[in-house]
Chain A
Amino acid sequence: MLPIGTFLARAVQETDVPPVLPRTVAALSSWDGAGLPGDAAFAALADDLREARQRDQETGSGAIGRASARLNNDWPGFRSLLPATARRLATAQGDARQAVLAASPEWNSPAPWAAIRRAGGPVSDFHLLAVLDLKRDAGGHIAAAPPDQSIFRAVLWRTLWISVSATAIALLIGYPLAWLIATAPPRWAPWLLAGVLLPFWTSLIVRTAAWMVLLQREGVVNAALQSLRLTEGPLPLLFNRGAVLLAMVHILLPFMVLPIYASLKSLDWRLPRAALSLGASPARTFFRISLPLSLPGVGAGCLLVFIQALGFYVTPALLGGANDQMLSYFVGFYATRTVNWSMAAALSCLLLAAVAIVVGLYARLVGFEKTRTA
């Protein structure tokens, strides 16, 4: 809990800029924001950058890089401005104002200074807004981020859409299957149940691997289709949304079947039988009696499937293409491929919020007392 808490707190903390530019941030606190800041700010910037560069080279802490990445999200151009200024200042002599302006003329406008002040911390909503494709404009109002930087809303919808689809398909397949197992003759039921339990216990990576092998260009499915002369050439079955969804439904289906089975098993079958004998049609009996009575199982199954689907990482990573990746992938991406832990934290918050909302809704609508079956 503690590691997760401290990690999530990074989403609102400004941890990148203040350690690199402490004096600059302090000097800018008295600046009115119009026109250029005073000489003190220039001197502070020069001192801060010289010191930070030396520290970076000794320890590999990469602090300037992270600060410039953070500032670049606010004011594009910082990514090269800050490291280049630091590099050139290291050898420059004399008046700080002139040295900074000589290093890059871009310091001759208020915009980069304002960005530094906004990132001065200690807390801000910058990253939380960024994962919703929002940012604060110069006036401090929330506005949409430029379109070429807006990807996260699309990723969020994609994640939700894949999860909802997987849940719906699993329900459509899972309910009849659970019904069959619950109503099958005692001689058959254990075997049917074993057919669900066996995949349930089979490792996720094995089942993902199975789909990879089946769906490959020269894999089992394509070979079968071609030998049956159903298709001319091999179909591109892998690295697309369909493959991800198919494998996710396959992996999650037991989580749907088992709770529904449990609730159907404990259902009092005299009730539907009574309805039938009183003349209700089978369909009416099902929709008015059996289905409502099994709803706790359906709810639990949907909850289990949906929550797990939200957090899928391995399956989309192996079976999906570049635009089939879900929120989890981007958390990992920001944490290990670009060193942007604040973004990783903010995206984690988004993911957790989605999970919490679903769990909360469930608790509200169904309640947890009826669950805990499997």
Chain B
Amino acid sequence: MLRRNLGAALLLGTALLAGPALAQQRDLTIVSWGGAYQDAQREIFFRPFQQKSGTRLLEETWDGGVGVLRAKIQSGANNWDLVQVESEELLLGCEEGLFEKMDFSALGGADKFIAPAVSECGVGNILYSFVLAYDKARMQEGPQGWADFFDTKKFPGKRGLRRGPKTTLEIALLADGVAPGDVYKLLGTPEGVDRAFRKLDSIKSDLVWWERGSQPAQWLASGEVVMTDAYNGRISAANQNDGRNFGIAWKNNLFTLDSWVIMKGSPNKAQAVAYLNYWSQPDVAAKLPPMIPYGTTVRGADAKLTPAVLADLPTTPANAEGALQINDQFWLDNLDTLNQRFNNWVSR
């Protein structure tokens, strides 16, 4: 008799453990880019929002790629609600119906944001640059620009680049002496793409590929690479928080912005909008740049920043000079093709 009860108890236990999961409505899931950036977001946005609204919030980390979003939606297994995407992912995903339309009236009007931040499916979130970074502690005379990045005689050692064609091909052409204004004209031709890959071939054995935004700073710190391209904010954050002495060569940095999108069919749309409303208060949005120097998209937020903080932002005129704005339209048309070529090239 005892044994029978035991068996019944076991079955009941299994049912109890499994039961709630079936009925459970999942919590708001915000997907960001990890490392120092997400740590900052957690402290100034996520936690205070949770406390204020009583909404439970789950965090996830990703490292980009429209294929990931496609796979989420098309496998029917989407578990993300609010995602920070890059500009070409915003356009591609919007075109392919991966995102909900952004309802700016629910966010207090499109005027609340700077003009480039307003689009059909997303709201701009941060302005940032891909910059050339190195460790001053190891190198007194650092590289000045992308040409030095490819100069393995003058600067021997491994260098890091972001795994993927976007930014990599632009950097290769810039290093090859192409003017920022001509980069996308050239990349639009097969010869231009071949030229970029040839340039990359010249240092292929010295390249290591990062995927997560936290890796460049880590690799610089450990000496794994002598220089790398990186999100500008991660480099400054490492100087600020971890006592590093990294240098940034702003020359011909690649400038762009990321946006928040709400995934198609999200069951937590209302909570996502509530979060966006919380974050887009100028007072709240202005808390980010002092933690990690990314430009804000909320009108009025920059006015609350000190000159010291502004100096590190990619939007500051001194830093923005000669910058190449990443061309979303080009990548909208060519990302998939070049992705495939890049992936075959890199895994050979």
Contact = CB atoms under 8 A, between A and B. Distances in A.
A126 interface: no
Given A62-B97, A72-B337, A336-B67, A151 B344 contact: yes
Contact of B98 (A60, A80, A148, A149): A60
Nearest to A64: B96
Contact of B97 (A57, A148, A218): A57
Contact of A322 (B67, B334, B346): B346
Given A59-B264, A335-B71, 18 more contacts: A60-B97, A60-B265, A61-B73, A62-B70, A62-B98, A65-B70, A72-B336, A80-B337, A87-B95, A148-B345, A217-B222, A236-B158, A239-B208, A323-B347, A336-B71, A337-B68, A338-B339, A339-B71
Contacts of B344: 148-149, 151
B223 interface: yes
B223 A339 contact: no
B65 interface: yes
Contacts of A154: 348
A76 B222 CA distance: 42
Contacts of B73: 60-62
Nearest to A54: B97
B223 A234 contact: yes
B140 interface: no
Contacts of B71: 335-339
A217 B223 contact: yes
A4 to B, nearest CB: 16
Contacts, number: 92
A216 interface: yes
A323 B223 CA distance: 22
Contacts of A58: 97
Interface string A64-106: 1110110010001001100110010000000000000000000
A56 B333 contact: no
A155 B73 CA distance: 29
B228 to A, nearest CB: 14
A335 B75 CA distance: 9
Contacts of B334: 80
B74 A61 contact: yes
B97 to A, nearest CB: 4
Contacts of B163: 322
9 contacts: A56-B96, A57-B95, A58-B97, A61-B74, A62-B73, A72-B340, A80-B333, A87-B95, A238-B224
B8 to A, nearest CB: 30
A325 interface: yes
Nearest to A149: B344
Contacts of B347: 151, 155, 322-323, 325
Interface string A295-339: 000000000000000000000000001110100000000011111
A68 B224 CA distance: 40
Interface in B66-93: 67-68, 70-71, 73-74
A236 B339 contact: no
Interface string A43-58: 0000000000000111
A62 B92 CA distance: 10
B336 A79 contact: yes
A321 B99 CA distance: 33
A75 to B, nearest CB: 12
Contacts of B265: 60
Interface of A: 56-62, 64-66, 68-69, 72, 76, 79-80, 83-84, 87, 148-149, 151, 154-155, 216-218, 234, 236, 238-239, 321-323, 325, 335-339
A217 B71 CA distance: 35
Contacts of B96: 56-57, 60, 62, 64-65
B348 to A, nearest CB: 6
Contacts of B223: 217-218, 234
Contacts of B224: 217, 236, 238
B198 interface: no
A338 B164 CA distance: 13
Contacts of B99: 60
B55 to A, nearest CB: 25
Contacts of A217: 222-224
B181 to A, nearest CB: 23
Nearest to A63: B74
B341 A148 contact: yes
Nearest to A233: B223
A151 B348 contact: yes
Contacts of B264: 59-60
A264 to B, nearest CB: 40
B68 A336 contact: yes
Contacts of A61: 73-74, 97
Given A60-B97, A69-B336, A217-B223, A337 B67 contact: yes
Nearest to B339: A338
A15 B73 CA distance: 17
The 7 closest A-B pairs by CB, nearest first: A60-B97, A60-B264, A217-B222, A338-B67, A339-B70, A57-B97, A337-B67
A217 B219 CA distance: 9
A310 B209 CA distance: 25
